Amino acid sequence: MECEFPTVNTNKDEIKEIFQKTKTIAVIGCSPDESKASNMVAAYLKNAGYKMIPVYPKEDIILGEKVYRSLSEIPCKVDMVNIFRKPDVIAQVIDECIARGDIDCVWTQLGLVNNEAAAKAKECGMKVVQNHCTKIEHKRLF
C-alpha cells in the first residue's frame, strides 16, 4: 500500500481551537495494551481533562472507561474522533461520523491518511486533521 500525503488538513492555528472546543474524544482502535500508542495517547488525553471514550472490538474497560464496539453505540455527544486504524478503515469510520451528525473533528494519527474520506468529512462540516498525533500537538500547544 502506497502512503498518501495529506492534501486535506486543518492548519496549525485551527488545531489549538479544536483542542479548546473539544470536551469528548472517541479513540477508535484504543488498545488495552499499555505499550501501544493508542493506549498512551488515550491516557494522556484523559489526564489532560478530556472525556475519553475507547472504541475497540474487545474488552469491557480500558483506562477505567467503558469500551464501545462502534462509534454508533456511544450514547453521548462526541466532539472529536481520534482514529488509530489503518487508512483503508478510515472511510468507514468517517461514514459513521457522518451518520451520527454530531462530530466536530476527525483526527487521524501519525502515518494515517485517507484524503478521499477526509474530503468527505470536510464537505459535511467537520474539521479534519490527518497525520498528526493528538498527544504531540496538545503538548506543543498547552
Does 51 have pLDDT greater than 70?
A: yes
Using an 8 Å Cβ cutoff, are 27 and 82 in contact? yes
Domains, the chain, in order of start with CATH, read: 12-141 (3.40.50.720)
Q: Report in angstroms the alpha-carbon separations of 39 from 7, 17, 55.
A: 27, 24, 11
The rounded percent of the chain whose pLDDT value lies above 90 is: 88
Average pLDDT over residues 115-123: 95
Q: What is the mean pLDDT of the chain?
A: 94
pLDDT at 102 over 90: yes
**Residue 50: is its pLDDT beyond 50?**
yes
pLDDT at 11 > cutoff 90? no
**CA 15 to chain CA mean position, Å:** 13
- Tens-place pLDDT, residues 55-84: 999 999 999 999 999 999 999 999 999 999
Can you list the alpha helix ranges (DSSP code H) found in the chain? 12-21, 37-47, 87-100, 115-123, 134-141
> What pLDDT, on the 0 to 100 scale, is given for residue 1?
42
For residue 28 the three cell numbers come to 477508535
- Orientation of helix 115-123 relative to helix 87-100, angle to 10°: 10
What 3-state class would DSSP assign to 10?
coil
Instruction: Give the C-alpha separation, 113 to 13, whole Å.
Output: 20
Whether residue 5 has pLDDT greater than 70:
yes
Please determine, for residue 15, whether its predicted confidence score (pLDDT) is greater than 90.
Answer: yes
Residue 93 has pLDDT above 50, yes or no: yes
The whole-number pLDDT of residue 6 equals 67
